[in-house]
Structure 1
Amino acid sequence: MAVIRLTKEFSFEAAHALDGYDGPCREIHGHSYRLFVTVAGRPVADPENPKYGMVMDFGVLKRIVNEQIVSRFDHAFVLRDSERGRAVREALGERFSNIVVVDYQPTCENMLADFARRITSRLPEGVRLHSLRLHETATSFAEWFAEDNPA
Structure 2
Amino acid sequence: MQQKIRITKIFNFETGHALYGYDGKCKNVHGHSYKLFVTVIGVPIHDTSHVKYGMVIDFSDLKKIVKEEIVDVFDHATVFNQNTPHIELAHELKQRGHHVILVNYQPTSENMVIDFAKKIQSRLPQDIVLYSLKLQETESSFAEWYAEDNTL
TM-score, normalised by the number of residues in structure 1: 0.97
Question: How far apart are 1:72 and its partner, in Å?
Answer: 0.3
- Percent of residue pairs identical: 53
**Counterpart for residue 128 of structure 2:** 127
The reply on whether 1:100 has 2:115 as its aligned counterpart is no
Measure, in 2, the Cα distance between the counterparts of 1:48 and 1:90: 53
Partner amino acid, structure 1, of 2:104: D
The residue aligned with 2:111 is 110
Aligned counterparts of 2:105 and 2:70: Cα–Cα separation in 1? 16
The aligned counterpart of 2:76 is 75
Aligned-pair CA distance for 1:85:
3.7
Matches within 5 A, 1:44-83: 44-83=45-84
Amino acid at match of 1:18: L
* Alpha-carbon distance between aligned partners in 2 of 1:98 and 1:92, rounded to the nearest angstrom: 8
SS at match of 2:138: coil
Aligned counterparts of 2:94 and 2:130: Cα–Cα separation in 1: 35
Aligned length: 151
Structure 1: gaps spanning 5 or more residues: none
- Answer whether contact 2:20 2:84 (CA < 8 A) is retained: no
Tell me, in whole angstroms, the C-alpha distance in 1 between the residues paired with 2:113 and 2:14.
Answer: 15
C-alpha offsets along residues 104-150 of structure 1, whole Å, 9 cap, x if unaligned? 00000000000000000000121000000000001110100000011
Q: 1:77-110 CA distances to partner (integer Å, 9 max, x unpaired)?
A: 0010015142221222232330011000000000
- 2:147 partner letter: A
Question: Which residue does the alignment assign to 2:26?
Answer: 25
C-alpha RMSD of matched pairs (Å) = 1.0
CA distance in 2 between counterparts of 1:106 and 1:132 reads 16
Alignment pair present for 1:149 and 2:150: yes
Deviations 1:28-75 (A, max 9, x none): 000000000000000111111111111000000000000000000000
Please report how far the alpha carbon of residue 19 of structure 1 lies from its aligned counterpart in structure 2 after TM superposition: 1.1
Contact 2:44 2:53 in 1 (8 A): yes
Unpaired runs of at least 5, structure 2: none
- What code does the residue aligned with 1:23 have? G
Secondary structure of residue in 2 paired with 1:84: coil
Work out the CA distance in 2 between the residues paired with 1:85 and 1:131. 33
Give the whole-Å Cα distance in 2 for the aligned partners of 1:132 and 1:85. 30
